[in-house]
């Protein structure tokens, strides 16, 4: 990752950030918002054309295993996290309120994120990124830092890298050559990993969306739910039940005939402008199937996506903790700060304990994943805790502010809504 | 490089401790639960073996492991040292039986106190002692600043007077680390700890408690009646330093709280493993990829319990790792204790519920484990005391503000 380190050293110096305009006050978004219920054809995608094809697909090497217990991120990770944390504080947090109200990701945010190189770590050097080894831990740390700013906008920022990370990890040489250079460039396409469907007790391994074999490839039918920035996305990775095989992932360009999107506003994640993706007799070529020779791939995508949500929960949970500490110290009732009461103080302790728990389980799973060790169990446990305790933290955040927490004067009500997503969402992000 | 796996080099130690837990502790676990106050003589030979391991530096099941190694962590690199080894060993041993670990000769909490705060001379002099810890008195529990046992300097000796309760291994140990005040009017700064050999006149065991669980471990009431100890038996500094106050004696707790958390982690794992086995015989298994809500309710419950177990486990290793790397870990030590303490009670009780009449019956150890677990949410600072410690630190509050 020497290249990435060098790039970041430059970026993290304030001059460069200033030059990029990252410190400029955020300008209000002006794009027209998508009205609920209005279905539009998929956005026109750029012409994705194969670039220079490698002899074999580029793969990131597994991270090394030191054999030692260690909670210290590498110097490089530390620097990346500090940069992303600043970015989240300066670009995401101030924009979160409007993005939530308008159901849209502000203009320019994604290009600034791309300039920062978020997403390029997961793309191998040979294809224009700066990845040399698998960086699930780095991805987790980045998602956590972004979600400290805002979960919805973090999802919007991370959505394209979910697609590029999957292509880097499981794409064949043709798929990589066609799509990855675009993701490593300056004008990163909006893209989304679409796994969810609107079904009670949804199981990502049991899909209603179908893929039938055709003489030239596959025909897809179904509806995907809660797809980040669906209406803007140029490229989708869609899960569908492939007849005779089971759940599989397909690369679908937005301009393909039969693709349409519809706004799907939800309780939270509104800054990510979630939408439904309709697939009506969508014909894709034989090359659209991802990881056709890797049976483990689909489960890995589901696991790494869940891990991404754990990281987001940790980031938003930390935002809650950082917000309630000064609040309960300043808020006075019965003649003294409410933090002098055990009923209040113990809730703060429990937020800290459960937050650290979620964080450690997430990091444990991430380290195992990037080292190529089995990690299904660790992801399941991290997700269970992130779902239950993450929501509890969101709940406690509102409760500690009382009636004020219920109003939009404070961000805790938004975090409450966002944290409910953690146990619901499948797809959208990838650690 | 972030990695939360048990260190590879600790595997032999873990394996040894596991063998001991499964071959020494488990076979006699029920026997001494029934025979409360009977001395588990099987432990004597085993304790000698542990002494040997500790001598060779390969220890991990012992109380001495909590001493902060002066040479540790100075190289700037990542240290996986004695603190981590000790919690890893403790986890395995408590997978076997918590009460029997608490009854291990020469591995008392007093030994941990000696290891934490004794000077080199004392460390040498008290080598080989089996030392219990006596803090609690009839009139106070968590409020350890309220110590009313007195220590008066008379020539070269301190004269101790008072009554101590809840002294683990108080009857079996050959010495007791006693907390006493040099001057009650000064408050916590005057509280010091003294090693009192049981052979001295004036120290007597009054009675043993009958308890909910950990019955193999004796819990004694100890009376000190004009008991004289040489002044060199005072651990730490004899000065009453009101600025430093309690710090000396409290240091022990930063090191022992992760140990109690480790006990909870080991016990929780035992209960989860046994429950998984019983559930699988009933045709229920956990699928880690399938959403919890689409699985059998027992499997979904199990996942939730296992997640809490894993959290307690990781918080415990993290707190020990911080001690190894000489990072302040007071908050993390309390987090591990709070999370592990409440989780082990939830887990063991729920495991009994999941296993029904089999779990509730003495035919299985599950009912015993859910009686044993409760003490782990109480001793070395209750759940609520840990919450206070964490909250005061996070909120920047003193003990007079956040009471």
So what's the pLDDT on residue A134? 82
Is the pLDDT reported for residue B273 higher than 90? Answer: yes
The mean-pLDDT minimum among A88-102, A317-331, B70-84, B325-339 falls in B70-84
Do both A18 and A146 map to the same domain?
Answer: yes
Do both A336 and A233 map to the same domain?
Answer: no
So what's the pLDDT on residue A28? 29
Do both A182 and A95 map to the same domain?
Answer: yes
Average pLDDT of the segment spanning B171-186: 94
Question: Does any CB of chain B come closer than 8 Å to the CB of residue A393?
Answer: no
User: For this structure, is B380 an active site residue?
Assistant: yes
The mean-pLDDT minimum among A114-123, A132-141, B346-355 falls in A114-123
Distance from CA of B355 to the nearest CA of A (A): 22
Distance from CA of B306 to the nearest CA of A (A): 7
So what's the pLDDT on residue B76? 65
Q: Do B78 and A68 touch (CB under 8 A)?
A: yes
Three-state secondary-structure class, residue A261: strand
So what's the pLDDT on residue A119? 82
Inter-chain contacts counted by CB atoms under 8 A, chains A and B? 168
How would residue A24 be classed by pLDDT, with cut points 50, 70 and 90? very low
Secondary structure element (H or E) that encloses residue B36, with its range: none
CA dihedral B133, B138, B141, B144 (to 10 degrees): -70
CATH of the domain at A329: 1.20.140.10
DSSP sequence for B186-252: GGGGGEEEEEEETTSTTEEEEEE---SS-TTS-EEEEEEEEEEEEGGGEES--S--TTTTTHHHHHH
Cβ burial A226-247 (10 Å sphere, 16+ → b, else e): bbbbbbbbbbbbbbbbbeeeeb
Which residue has better confidence, B187 or B138? B138
The mean-pLDDT minimum among A27-31, A130-134, A154-158, A162-166 falls in A27-31
Domain count across chain A: 3
Question: Does any CB of chain B come closer than 8 Å to the CB of residue A70?
Answer: yes
Is the pLDDT reported for residue A87 higher than 80? Answer: yes
* Inter-residue contact A276 to A261 (CB < 8 Å): yes
Query: CA–CA separation, A418 vs A47, rounded Å?
Result: 35
CATH of the domain at A241: 2.40.110.10
Do both A129 and A9 map to the same domain?
Answer: yes
Answer whether residue A54 is part of any domain.
no
How would residue A385 be classed by pLDDT, with cut points 50, 70 and 90? very high
Do both A317 and A234 map to the same domain?
Answer: no
Answer whether residue A61 is part of any domain.
no
Topology at the third CATH level for domain B247-395: Butyryl-CoA Dehydrogenase, subunit A; domain 3 (1.20.140)
By Cβ distance, the residue of A69, A74, A361 closest to B311 is A361
Residue finishing a domain among A247, A265, A290? A290
Is the pLDDT reported for residue B10 higher than 90? Answer: yes
* Inter-residue contact B314 to B4 (CB < 8 Å): yes
Summarize pLDDT for B31-47 with one digit per residue, the tens: 999 999 999 999 998 88
Show residues of chain B in contact with A66, CB under 8 Å. 1, 3, 78
Closest chain B residue to the Cα of A304, Cα to Cα: B289
Average pLDDT of the segment spanning A176-193: 92
Is the pLDDT reported for residue A136 higher than 70? Answer: yes
So what's the pLDDT on residue B157? 97
And the tokens for A44?
A: 């026109």
Topology at the third CATH level for domain B129-235: Butyryl-CoA Dehydrogenase, subunit A; domain 2 (2.40.110)
Average pLDDT of the segment spanning B215-232: 97
So what's the pLDDT on residue B34? 97
Q: Do B78 and A384 touch (CB under 8 A)?
A: no
How would residue A45 be classed by pLDDT, with cut points 50, 70 and 90? confident
So what's the pLDDT on residue B46? 85
Summarize pLDDT for A269-302 with one digit per residue, the tens: 999 999 999 999 999 999 999 998 888 999 999 9
Do both A164 and A214 map to the same domain?
Answer: no
Closest chain B residue to the Cα of A349, Cα to Cα: B391
Q: Do A74 and B1 touch (CB under 8 A)?
A: yes
So what's the pLDDT on residue A17? 36
So what's the pLDDT on residue A2? 34
Q: Which of B308, B311, B402 to mutate to test the interface with A (most CBs of A within 10 A)?
A: B311
Query: CA–CA separation, A397 vs A418, rounded Å?
Result: 12
Question: Does any CB of chain B come closer than 8 Å to the CB of residue A348?
Answer: yes
Topology at the third CATH level for domain B8-122: Butyryl-Coa Dehydrogenase, subunit A; domain 1 (1.10.540)
Is the pLDDT reported for residue A321 higher than 70? Answer: yes
**% of chain A surpassing 70 pLDDT:** 91
Q: Which of B92, B306, B367, B380 is catalytic?
A: B380
Is the pLDDT reported for residue B393 higher than 70? Answer: yes
Closest C-alpha among A21, A239, A207 to residue A111? A21
Is the pLDDT reported for residue A12 higher than 80? Answer: no
Answer whether residue A62 is part of any domain.
no
Domain with CATH 1.20.140.10 in chain B: 247-395
Query: CA–CA separation, B169 vs B166, rounded Å?
Result: 9
Q: Do A72 and B4 touch (CB under 8 A)?
A: no
Summarize pLDDT for A236-261 with one digit per residue, the tens: 999 999 999 999 999 999 999 999 99
Distance from CA of B73 to the nearest CA of A (A): 13
CATH of the domain at A127: 1.10.540.10
Is the pLDDT reported for residue A18 higher than 80? Answer: no
Summarize pLDDT for B274-307 with one digit per residue, the tens: 999 999 999 999 999 999 999 999 999 999 999 9
Domain with CATH 2.40.110.10 in chain B: 129-235
Summarize pLDDT for A329-345 with one digit per residue, the tens: 999 999 999 999 999 99
So what's the pLDDT on residue B301? 98
Whole-complex ipTM: 0.93
Closest chain A residue to the Cα of B325, Cα to Cα: A70
Q: Do A71 and B2 touch (CB under 8 A)?
A: yes
Average pLDDT of the segment spanning A357-378: 97
Average pLDDT of the segment spanning A397-401: 98
Question: Does any CB of chain B come closer than 8 Å to the CB of residue A340?
Answer: yes
Show residues of chain B in contact with A203, CB under 8 Å. 290-291, 294
Do both A321 and A285 map to the same domain?
Answer: no
Average pLDDT of the segment spanning B11-29: 95
In the numeric block, the tokens 């299904």 are attached to: A376
Question: Does any CB of chain B come closer than 8 Å to the CB of residue A133?
Answer: no
Do both A232 and A109 map to the same domain?
Answer: no
So what's the pLDDT on residue B248? 58
**DSSP-derived pairing of the beta strands A235-242 and A246-253:** antiparallel
What's the domain range around A371? 297-423
DSSP sequence for B271-304: HHHHHHHHHHHTT----SSS-GGGS-HHHHHHHH
Show residues of chain B in contact with A345, CB under 8 Å. 387-388, 391-392, 395, 397, 402
Do both A303 and A348 map to the same domain?
Answer: yes
How would residue A185 be classed by pLDDT, with cut points 50, 70 and 90? confident
Is the pLDDT reported for residue A23 higher than 60? Answer: no
Which residue has better confidence, B114 or A413? A413
**Distances B275 to B7, B98, B285, B310, B354 between C-alpha atoms, Å:** 27, 18, 10, 16, 8
How would residue A29 be classed by pLDDT, with cut points 50, 70 and 90? very low
DSSP sequence for A75-139: HHHHHHHHHHHHHIIIIIHHHHHHHHHHTSPPTTHHHHHHHHTTTGGGSBGGGTS-BSB--HHHH
Residue finishing a domain among A188, A219, A237? A188
Summarize pLDDT for B48-77 with one digit per residue, the tens: 877 776 666 555 545 655 665 554 444 568
- pTM of this structure: 0.92
Summarize pLDDT for B315-370 with one digit per residue, the tens: 999 999 999 999 999 999 999 999 999 999 999 999 999 999 999 999 999 999 99
Domain with CATH 1.10.540 in chain B: 8-122
Distance from CA of B209 to the nearest CA of A (A): 31
Average pLDDT of the segment spanning A340-367: 98
Do both A163 and A229 map to the same domain?
Answer: no
């Amino acid at each position: 990752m020497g290249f990435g380190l060098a790039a970041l050293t430059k970026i993290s110096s304030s001059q460069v950030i200033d030059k990029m305009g990252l410190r400029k006050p955020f300008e209000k978004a002006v794009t027209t918002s998508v009205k609920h219920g209005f279905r539009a054809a998929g956005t026109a995608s750029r012409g994705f054309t194969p670039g220079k094809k490698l002899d074999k697909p580029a793969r990131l090497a597994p991270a090394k295993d030191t054999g030692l217990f260690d909670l210290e991120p590498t110097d490089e990770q530390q620097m990346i996290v500090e940069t992303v944390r600043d970015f989240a504080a300066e670009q995401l947090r101030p924009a979160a309120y409007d993005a939530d109200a308008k159901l849209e990701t502000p203009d320019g945010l994604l290009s600034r994120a791309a300039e920062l190189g978020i997403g390029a770590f997961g793309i191998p050097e040979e294809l224009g990124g700066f990845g040399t080894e698998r960086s699930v831990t780095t991805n987790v740390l980045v998602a956590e830092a972004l979600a400290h700013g805002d979960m919805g906008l973090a999802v919007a920022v991370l959505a394209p890298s979910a697609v590029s990370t999957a292509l880097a990890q499981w794409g064949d040489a043709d798929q990589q050559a066609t799509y990855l250079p675009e993701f490593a460039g300056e004008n990163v396409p909006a893209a989304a990993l679409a796994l969810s469907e609107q079904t009670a007790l949804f199981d990502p391994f049991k899909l209603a969306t179908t893929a039938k074999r055709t003489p030239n490839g596959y025909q897809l039918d179904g509806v995907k739910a809660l797809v980040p920035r669906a209406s803007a996305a140029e490229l989708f990775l869609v899960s569908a039940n492939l007849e005779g095989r089971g759940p599989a992932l397909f690369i679908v360009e937005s301009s393909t005939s039969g693709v349409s999107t519809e706004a799907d506003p939800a309780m939270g994640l509104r800054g990510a402008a979630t939408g439904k993706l309709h697939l009506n007799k969508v014909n894709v070529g034989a090359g659209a199937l991802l990881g056709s020779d890797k049976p483990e791939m689909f489960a890995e995508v589901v696991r790494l996506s869940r891990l991404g949500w754990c990281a987001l929960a940790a980031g938003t949970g930390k935002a809650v903790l950082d917000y309630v500490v000064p609040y309960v110290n300043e808020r006075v009732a019965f003649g003294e700060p409410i933090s002098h009461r055990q009923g209040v103080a113990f809730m703060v302790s429990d937020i800290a304990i459960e937050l650290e728990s979620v964080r450690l389980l997430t990091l444990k799973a991430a380290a195992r994943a990037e080292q190529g060790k089995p990690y299904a169990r660790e992801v399941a446990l991290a997700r269970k805790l992130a779902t239950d305790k993450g929501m509890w933290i969101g709940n406690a955040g509102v409760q500690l502010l009382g009636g004020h927490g219920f109003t939009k004067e404070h961000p805790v009500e938004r975090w409450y809504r966002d944290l409910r997503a953690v146990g619901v969402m499948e797809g959208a992000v990838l650690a | 490089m972030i990695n939360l796996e048990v260190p590879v080099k600790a595997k032999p130690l873990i394996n040894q401790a596991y063998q001991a837990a499964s071959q020494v502790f488990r076979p006699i676990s029920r026997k001494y639960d029934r025979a409360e106050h009977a001395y588990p003589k099987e432990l004597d030979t085993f304790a000698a073996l542990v002494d040997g391991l500790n001598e060779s530096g390969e220890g991990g099941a012992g109380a001495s492991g909590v001493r902060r190694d002066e040479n540790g962590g100075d190289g700037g690199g990542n240290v996986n040292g004695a603190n981590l080894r000790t919690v890893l060993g403790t986890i395995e041993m408590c997978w076997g039986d918590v009460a029997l670990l608490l009854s291990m000769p020469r591995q008392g909490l007093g030994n941990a106190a000696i290891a934490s705060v004794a000077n080199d001379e004392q460390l040498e002099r008290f080598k080989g002692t089996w030392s219990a810890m006596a803090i609690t008195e009839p009139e106070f529990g968590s409020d350890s600043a309220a110590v009313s046992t007195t220590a008066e300097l008379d020539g070269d000796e301190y004269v101790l007077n008072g009554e101590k309760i809840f002294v683990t291994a108080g009857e079996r140990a050959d010495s007791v680390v006693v907390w006493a005040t040099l001057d009650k009017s000064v408050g916590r700064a005057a509280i010091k700890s003294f090693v009192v050999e049981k052979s001295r006149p004036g120290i007597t065991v009054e009675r043993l408690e009958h308890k909910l669980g950990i019955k193999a471990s004796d819990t004694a009431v100890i009376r000190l009646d004009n008991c004289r100890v040489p002044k060199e038996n005072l651990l730490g500094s004899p000065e009453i330093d009101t600025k430093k106050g309690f710090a000396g004696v409290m240091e022990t707790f930063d090191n022992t709280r992760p140990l109690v958390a480790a006990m909870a982690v080991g016990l929780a794992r035992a209960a989860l493993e046994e429950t998984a086995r019983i559930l699988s015989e009933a045709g229920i298994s956990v699928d880690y990829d399938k959403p919890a809500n689409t699985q059998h309710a027992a499997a979904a419950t199990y996942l939730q319990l296992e997640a809490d177990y894993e959290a307690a486990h990781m918080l415990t290793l993290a707190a020990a790792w911080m001690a190894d790397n000489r990072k302040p870990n007071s908050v993390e030590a309390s987090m591990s204790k709070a999370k592990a303490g409440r989780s082990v009670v939830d887990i063991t009780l729920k495991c009994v519920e999941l296993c029904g009449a089999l779990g509730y019956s003495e035919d299985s150890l599950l009912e015993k484990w859910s009686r044993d677990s409760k003490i782990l949410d109480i001793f070395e600072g209750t759940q609520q005391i840990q919450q206070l410690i964490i909250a005061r630190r996070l909120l920047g509050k003193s003990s007079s503000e956040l009471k």
